[in-house]
A = this chain, B = another copy of it.
């Protein structure tokens, strides 16, 4: 089959080293490796050590593996909320986090603004909120919250835990891990891997909270509650048989990222996003969906393509480019472009040239 450059924001194009790593994995028997071996513990440790180096994850954070980021939403609510969470909602994914709290019979509250917007001014968090859920990068709308907003939430709500959904922004953002308590991502976006693995980082405050809920006989889930995860992770093990191949590939891609250097990955991300936003700002037919330049995501860029959506999609496909559809109701009027480490400058230049070439 004719493969296009895949700009959909997840699952996105594989990181270019993945196929080689898969070949090595088969040669070394990784796909059938038992998760109760020293070799598996080495794979676990390689991911954790690599992430600490790549993202500057401090020692008071623990790293756990789940089936998906959806699962992590659920585990966060089960383990860190007795009754009340508070959610900043500005798109489909931040809303889903809120809804999951409802489905788990908690009493979440939310501050909701329309798709494409952020949260201006001071955010009044209601009394008694145990956890604030923040979606750093709304994959549905291309809005990224400024890191300073998380810091402000932290300063104003020192007693609440802060959970950051960084599903479609990591490894790009340069987070200060003291400003929140748990953060998570899935591997099929910025890390360029096949889907089927979520990565969940929690600090010691989260461990304490989950243990506290357990002493109150509140169910924190079973095989994937935080204390069970922790008891295994200190031995570089996992409670159940995990996606071992996925973990191996993640460790290898993180090592590739570290060799390339996170600074260089960040700079290239910014260069490519600037290219595309400039093209959209100057385009006669299209525009950037997110108006406020301070809220524009560097990693998921949403173009308002209006009535030309179908035509420009076909045109891009003819150039070997697969754009991502607009999300949900915006499917016929927007296109989304992932800007992940796997997308090269040359691919972004081709994308921008193609958009500029497009005529009605």
Give me the interface of A with B, judged by CB distance under 8 Å.
Answer: 1, 3, 6, 8, 10-14, 18-19, 22, 26-29, 31-35, 66-71, 73-74, 96, 99-100, 103-105, 186, 188, 193-197, 217, 219-225, 239-246
**A35 neighbours in B (Cβ, 8 Å):** 11, 195
**A26 neighbours in B (Cβ, 8 Å):** 19, 22
Per the bound structure, the CA–CA distance linking A59 and B59 in Å amounts to 52
- Give 10 A-B contacts (CB < 8 Å), ordered by A residue: A11-B32, A14-B31, A18-B31, A66-B67, A67-B243, A70-B224, A103-B219, A103-B220, A194-B245, A196-B244
Known contacts A103-B220, A196-B197, then 15 further A-B pairs from the complex at CB < 8 Å, ordered by chain A residue: A1-B27, A1-B29, A6-B29, A11-B241, A12-B32, A22-B26, A32-B194, A67-B68, A67-B243, A70-B223, A70-B239, A70-B240, A71-B223, A188-B241, A196-B242
Chain A interface mostly helix, strand, loop or mixed? loop
Per the bound structure, the CA–CA distance linking A231 and B308 in Å amounts to 32
**A100 neighbours in B (Cβ, 8 Å):** 222-223
**A186 neighbours in B (Cβ, 8 Å):** 241
Per the bound structure, the CA–CA distance linking A104 and B3 in Å amounts to 46
Cβ of A103 and Cβ of B221 under 8 Å apart? yes
**A96 neighbours in B (Cβ, 8 Å):** 223
Per the bound structure, the CA–CA distance linking A305 and B238 in Å amounts to 29
Cβ of A68 and Cβ of B242 under 8 Å apart? yes
Per the bound structure, the CA–CA distance linking A61 and B91 in Å amounts to 35
Query: What is the chain B residue whose CB lies nearest that of A105?
Result: B219
Per the bound structure, the CA–CA distance linking A240 and B70 in Å amounts to 7
**A246 neighbours in B (Cβ, 8 Å):** 196, 243
Cβ of A195 and Cβ of B6 under 8 Å apart? no
**A217 neighbours in B (Cβ, 8 Å):** 105
Q: Which 8 A-B pairs have the closest CB atoms?
A: A67-B67, A196-B243, A70-B240, A31-B194, A103-B222, A100-B222, A194-B245, A105-B219
Query: What is the chain B residue whose CB lies nearest that of A192?
Result: B32
**A244 neighbours in B (Cβ, 8 Å):** 11, 194-196
Chain B nearest CB: distance from A158 CB in Å?
Answer: 29
Chain B nearest CB: distance from A338 CB in Å?
Answer: 11
Chain B nearest CB: distance from A359 CB in Å?
Answer: 28
Query: What is the chain B residue whose CB lies nearest that of A13?
Result: B32
Cβ of B196 and Cβ of A196 under 8 Å apart? yes
Query: What is the chain B residue whose CB lies nearest that of A3?
Result: B29
Per the bound structure, the CA–CA distance linking A32 and B324 in Å amounts to 12
**A245 neighbours in B (Cβ, 8 Å):** 194-196
Query: What is the chain B residue whose CB lies nearest that of A77?
Result: B222
Cβ of B241 and Cβ of A68 under 8 Å apart? yes
Query: What is the chain B residue whose CB lies nearest that of A218?
Result: B105
**A69 neighbours in B (Cβ, 8 Å):** 240-241
Cβ of A222 and Cβ of B32 under 8 Å apart? no
Cβ of B10 and Cβ of A74 under 8 Å apart? no
Cβ of A67 and Cβ of B71 under 8 Å apart? yes
**A221 neighbours in B (Cβ, 8 Å):** 74, 103-104
Cβ of B74 and Cβ of A32 under 8 Å apart? no
Query: What is the chain B residue whose CB lies nearest that of A8?
Result: B34
If A194-B245, A241-B186, A246-B196 touch, whether A225 touches B32 (CB-CB below 8 Å) is no
Query: What is the chain B residue whose CB lies nearest that of A247?
Result: B196
